[in-house]
């Protein structure tokens, strides 16, 4: 049997890769261990968060499915950092894990050009460093023009609970035992990482009365730009906050000698920004408590996830630890927490398209690339699926720049810098985050999705309308003077705004941090009839107007810099300030321009600045 694209793994990356390929007209096969687990949320029952929400919005803008599914399965919607600037705010939704999985499985089964098959991929069919298909454990062979690996934690997955350990890709699910061994034999750099998950608690055994209730936003905002905002009013279910205490910490620290991460039982490195509770107690021993969120796993609210209590401690210690926490004294544990080790491929083995450099037609996406998080995985899956299709059609690859999208930052970080620990997205990783706000994702990226056939004409027309209204409003305010005449000064005073001494551009008045929609209507009465959600975006654009202008100049300067040619036989060793590693790579690849140098794994922006400065000095001398 022959296909255009075969995707291995039915998690968040695999779904987006498969849907993108099928929707772009390619005959697509998704091979997964358990069809029932397509779209399973293996760990926390939530989508989005700080920076992660940006990824979901960008994914949605290009035509991915995660945002739509979240809106359908969401049981609480909340904007994090709501009191801070729009650039660092992040949308987050609690999801009904069962509904999420059911939705995604239904979409996969009902998408044209999309087939699903349940089996384990035991090996790749490779000849002359080119992949031609896969072989399965049951002896099937499937041929394909492109193969995308989205294996999650399944490659040689090993679960740890105290002294006990067993082979699994997820609790009680079989691992993939041979695929990563073959990847290593093919010359790819394969490493080992670790992640973990907390216990789940029977809701009937929790004393919620002593906990702090944590609800969603009064006016919830959907994740997908394609969801009708006017009719979006989901039932919101609360989470609850409690804390560890000194008794909890004592239970944990007195059992460090039984913790797999301290005994040497676990070899892989875990996520720095989502540590286990034993790691937190060890590293921050001076703290008297740590915050925990109890999150419902479904709308039925029969089972709660303890966010912040990830652990691989023995089950007897987990019991004592949980029972020492206020509100959980009588908690009944339905599932114990565990750590899982798994194999990954060094992401510097990849091109920006996510195709491997050493094996033609083979793409990797998700946790196999050393990332952590549903959102990071889904974003990579979409990009791998799109690029596989474009390559089949002989078209130019789709690579997002760092100033275009967080997805661009994510992939660029992975393939140029690499990582030796699970990579998680943060707003601080993006140099141009003022340009990459969540609500602007559709205006930045939907034209790509439309070009690929992933965004329909109707949605694209809505995006163009939004873009036009906002741009016309910004242009008007940027060219309209607000003078210091009596009526204007009285207006400012009536709004509680500071007076001006001389004329100011209207955009600078609206751009004040104190201006809201009410004040906007008074200051710019000609635009008062604009829809509220567009008005909010116009106000945000005004607040960032001057800062964005500076960033755009920086980007243009960077583009010009990257066009600079590097002379043939240039002596990189003569440049002071470059590390031996950087010099070695530059000498090996001999990039003709600074842009080509920037594409080399491990060549940092700081290195490029040094080379640019040195080239400038040499040009002036000659």
User: What kind and span of H or E run contains 184?
Assistant: helix 179-185
pLDDT for 615: 87
- Cross-strand pairs, 190: 345
Residue 553 included in any domain = no
pTM here is: 0.93
- Cross-strand pairs, 340: 159, 195
Q: What is the CATH number of the domain that holds 500?
A: 1.10.10.1800
Q: Which of 483, 518, 548 marks a domain boundary? A: 548
Residue 527 included in any domain = yes
* pLDDT mean by block of 10 residues, the chain; 622 residues: 97 98 98 98 96 98 98 98 92 98 98 98 98 98 98 98 97 96 98 97 98 96 95 96 98 97 94 92 95 98 98 98 98 98 96 96 98 98 98 97 96 90 93 94 98 98 97 97 96 96 96 96 95 95 95 87 87 89 87 86 82 79 54
Q: Which of 491, 525, 548 marks a domain boundary? A: 548
Residue 558 included in any domain = no
- The 3-state secondary structure of 443-499, one letter per residue: HHHHHHHHHCCCCCHHHHHHHHHHHHHHHHHHHHHHCCEECCCHHHHHHHHHCCCCC
Are residues 397 and 361 located together in one domain of the fold? yes
Are residues 128 and 243 located together in one domain of the fold? yes
Are residues 208 and 321 located together in one domain of the fold? yes
Are residues 248 and 162 located together in one domain of the fold? yes
pLDDT for 619: 61
DSSP label of 325: S
pLDDT for 588: 84
Are residues 299 and 398 located together in one domain of the fold? yes
Are residues 390 and 474 located together in one domain of the fold? no
pLDDT for 350: 95
Are residues 175 and 305 located together in one domain of the fold? yes
Are residues 526 and 437 located together in one domain of the fold? no
Which residue, 363, 202, 221, 205, is CA-closest to 296?
202
pLDDT for 440: 97
Question: Are residues 97 and 40 in contact, defined by beta-carbon separation less than 8 angstroms?
Answer: yes
Name the domain count of the chain. 3
Are residues 423 and 515 located together in one domain of the fold? no
Give every CB contact of residue 405 below 8 A, 6+ residues apart in sequence.
58, 436, 441, 444, 445
- Say what angle helices 12-23 and 97-109 make with each other, to 10 degrees: 30
Residue 557 included in any domain = no
Q: Which of 503, 521, 548 marks a domain boundary? A: 548
Q: What is the CATH number of the domain that holds 608?
A: 1.10.150.570
d(CA 294, CA 508): 44
Q: What is the CATH number of the domain that holds 66?
A: 3.50.50.60
Q: Domain range for residue 377?
A: 1-455
Are residues 577 and 483 located together in one domain of the fold? no
pLDDT for 447: 98
Are residues 415 and 267 located together in one domain of the fold? yes
- Could you give phi then psi for residue 138, rounded to 5 degrees? -85, 5
Residue 554 included in any domain = no
Are residues 470 and 448 located together in one domain of the fold? no
Residue 584 included in any domain = yes
User: What kind and span of H or E run contains 268?
Assistant: none
């Amino acid at each position: 049997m022959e296909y255009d694209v075969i995707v291995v793994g039915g998690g968040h990356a695999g779904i987006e890769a498969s849907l993108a390929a099928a929707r772009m007209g390619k005959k697509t096969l998704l091979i997964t261990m358990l069809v029932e687990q397509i779209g399973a949320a293996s760990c926390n029952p939530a989508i989005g968060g700080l920076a992660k929400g940006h990824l979901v919005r960008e994914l949605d803008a290009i035509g991915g499915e995660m945002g739509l599914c979240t809106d359908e399965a969401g049981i609480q919607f909340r904007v994090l950092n709501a009191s801070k600037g729009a650039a660092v705010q992040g949308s987050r939704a609690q999801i009904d894990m069962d509904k999420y999985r059911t939705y995604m499985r239904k979409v996969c089964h009902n998408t044209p050009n999309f087939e699903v098959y349940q089996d384990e991929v035991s090996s790749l069919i490779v000849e002359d460093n080119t992949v031609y298909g896969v072989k399965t454990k049951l002896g099937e062979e499937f041929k394909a023009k492109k193969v995308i690996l989205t294996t999650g934690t399944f490659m040689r997955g090993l679960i740890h609970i105290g002294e006990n350990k067993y082979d699994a890709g997820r609790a009680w699910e079989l691992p993939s035992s041979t695929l990563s061994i073959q990847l290593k034999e093919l010359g790819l750099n394969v490493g080992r990482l670790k992640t973990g998950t907390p216990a789940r608690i029977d809701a009937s055994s929790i004393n919620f009365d002593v906990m702090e209730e944590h609800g969603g936003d009064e006016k919830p905002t959907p994740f997908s730009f394609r969801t009708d905002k006017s009719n979006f009013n989901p039932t919101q279910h609360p989470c609850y906050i409690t804390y560890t205490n000194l008794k909890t910490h004592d239970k944990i620290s007195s059992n460090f000698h039984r913790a797999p991460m301290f005994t040497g039982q676990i070899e892989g490195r875990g996520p720095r920004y989502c540590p286990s509770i034993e790691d937190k107690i060890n590293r921050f021993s001076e703290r008297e408590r740590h915050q925990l969120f109890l999150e419902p796993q479904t709308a039925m609210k029969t089972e709660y996830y303890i966010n912040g209590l990830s652990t691989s401690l023995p089950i007897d210690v987990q019991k004592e630890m949980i029972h020492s926490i206020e509100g959980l004294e009588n908690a009944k544990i339905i599932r114990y927490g565990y750590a899982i080790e798994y194999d990954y491929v060094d992401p510097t083995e990849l091109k920006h398209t996510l195709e491997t450099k050493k094996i033609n037609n083979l793409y990797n996406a998700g946790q196999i690339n050393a990332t952590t998080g549903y959102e990071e995985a889904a974003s990579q899956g979409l990009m791998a699926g799109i690029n596989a299709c474009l390559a089949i059609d002989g078209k130019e690859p789709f690579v997002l720049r760092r100033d275009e999208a967080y997805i661009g930052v994510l992939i660029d970080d992975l393939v140029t810098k690499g990582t030796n620990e699970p990579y998680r997205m943060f707003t601080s990783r993006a140099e141009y985050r003022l340009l990459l706000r969540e609500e602007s994702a559709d205006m930045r990226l939907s034209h790509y999705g439309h070009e690929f056939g992933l965004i329909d004409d109707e949605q694209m027309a809505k995006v163009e309308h939004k873009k036009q209204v906002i741009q016309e409003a910004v242009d008007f305010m940027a060219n309209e003077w607000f003078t210091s005449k009596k009526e204007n000064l009285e207006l400012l005073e009536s709004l509680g705004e500071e007076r001006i001494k001389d004329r100011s551009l209207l955009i600078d008045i609206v751009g004040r941090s104190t201006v809201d929609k009410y004040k906007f209507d008074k200051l710019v009465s000609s635009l008062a009839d604009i829809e509220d959600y567009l008005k909010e975006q116009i106000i945000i654009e005004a607040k960032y107007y001057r800062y964005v202008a500076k960033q755009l100049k920086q980007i243009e300067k960077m583009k010009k810099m990257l066009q600079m040619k590097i002379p043939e036989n240039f002596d990189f060793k003569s440049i002071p300030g470059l590390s031996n590693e950087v010099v070695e790579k530059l000498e090996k690849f001999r990039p003709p321009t600074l842009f080509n140098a920037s594409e080399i794994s491990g060549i940092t922006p700081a290195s490029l600045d040094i080379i640019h400065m040195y080239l400038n000095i040499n040009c002036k001398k000659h």
